[in-house]
Structure 1
Amino acid sequence: MSVPTSGPDAAPPAAVILAGGQSRRLGRDKAAVLMEGRTLLERAVALAGNFCAEVAVSGRDPGPLPGVSCWFLDERPGNGPMGGILTALERFRAPCLVLSCDLPFLDRSTLGTLLAAWRTRPPHALMTTFAQIETDYIEALVSVYEPGAADVMRRALDQGQRKLSRAFPPALRHDVPYTVANARPFFNVNTPEELRQVPGTGSL
């Protein structure tokens, strides 16, 4: 797949699917949950592959999975998503589209909106993400991170801070506003109750 690095269709050269969580609250491996015949991990890989030339999986060996170029474990384990994103930025040294594996309703249109915003990001922005208007909550696991974000993460981890929203204040972000009413693409599966809300998983 050839992805332009500039122009109206430019995209980050690499996408990283975060799949290293323990799924304790769900009680089963969320990445392996089947939705309409595909696992959530397979779905995320295929979705990212529509935009990025290279798709990596962070946190586990996905086995022979079509569309996956490589996988890796966190260089600094035990630090949640920040550890996986930092490892990805250190590995690729390029902008990375980062997606969690547990977003069953994320779609191409939403990612297209994110990447359109990324192409117009201001020079100071190290993170392009969605921000909820009503709460200021950011979708840190549906975002594009610049290589310079790695320095921010290293400092945060050295200070014991693992929350991406705190490590990246508004001054370091380019936000795409959205409302609670339009939050469906960011619904993630953490508990059996949330899984029951996802059609096609066999859990309703």
Structure 2
Amino acid sequence: MQSGDVVATTRPFGVILAGGLASRMGGGDKALIELAGMPMLGHVIARLAPQVAGLALNANGDPGRFAAFGLKVLADPVPGHPGPLAGVLAAMDCAAREGARHIVTAAADTPFLPTDLVIRLMAGAQAAAAPIALAATASGLHPTFGLWPVSLRDDLRQALGAGTRKVGAWALDQGAVRVPFDTTLLDPFFNVNTPQDLAEARARLTGDTT
């Protein structure tokens, strides 16, 4: 990796990861579930789009179901729903075609993601001279929220071909730095996995926390 590839100095290309199967929500697309008057994906886009140079969506199946959002839809480049690491590779491949050198990824089921996610990941990577920066809180690592250099895409493709599936483990093997985020008032990485989570997210967005 060349030294110029290590640290992002301009706004990266953003990709929202929505390639998973919503088994605990009864199947279907979590990203399209209505949440306070708009699909959950709309909340994620509203928070991430101002932070990035361009934005795409990683999702499998018929891309037409996301047409209303006006985003390029990227399918996993590896068959069999191998998980979000394949979405990271899809993002890297897309960014390379766009001429971008870095990407930022975020999960599609996190309607409260930080509005300063990108600038803090960039600062963390710069401070540590690390190739990858991953969000972390007191509860642990949030590896789907990361800043990644496109120059690692061939390494990632090889790792996926060899059976690697864990995002955090692969990133840490590449020298990723953990970037801490505060959750004192609100966990910005709260993700909607169950009907109970959905009810909590709706309550937060409407101000009804009773």
TM-score, L = length of structure 1: 0.80
| 8 Å Cα contact 2:104-2:118 kept in structure 1 | no
Tell me the amino acid that sits aligned with residue 116 of structure 1. Answer: A
Post-superposition CA distance 1:39-90 (Å, at most 9, x none): 1111212222101121101115211315x2x112111132111111101212
**Alignment partner of 1:129 is 2:128:** no
After superposition, residues 77-92 of structure 1 pair within 5 angstroms as: 77=79, 78-92=81-95
Match in the other structure for 2:77: 75
Give how far 1:128 is off: 0.9
Match in the other structure for 1:18: 17
| 8 Å Cα contact 2:125-2:131 kept in structure 1 | no
Identity %: 26
| 8 Å Cα contact 2:15-2:105 kept in structure 1 | yes
- CA RMSD of superposed structures (Å): 2.7
Match in the other structure for 1:4: none
Post-superposition CA distance 1:101-127 (Å, at most 9, x none): 1002213134442343345450xx231
After superposition, residues 162-201 of structure 1 pair within 5 angstroms as: 162-169=165-172, 172-178=175-181, 181=184, 184-200=187-203
After superposition, residues 14-53 of structure 1 pair within 5 angstroms as: 14-27=13-26, 28-53=28-53
Match in the other structure for 1:101: 108
**Structure 2: 5+ residue runs without aligned partners?**
1-7
The worse-fitting range, judged by mean Cα deviation, of 101-110 and 175-184 is 175-184
TM-score, L = length of structure 2: 0.77
Q: 2:190 & 2:46 partners in 1: Cα distance?
A: 18
Post-superposition CA distance 1:138-169 (Å, at most 9, x none): 21111111113323322322221200111122
Count of aligned residue pairs for this structure pair? 189
| 8 Å Cα contact 1:127-1:149 kept in structure 2 | no
Higher helix proportion (structure 1 or 2):
2
**Alignment partner of 1:65 is 2:69:** yes
| 8 Å Cα contact 2:124-2:179 kept in structure 1 | yes
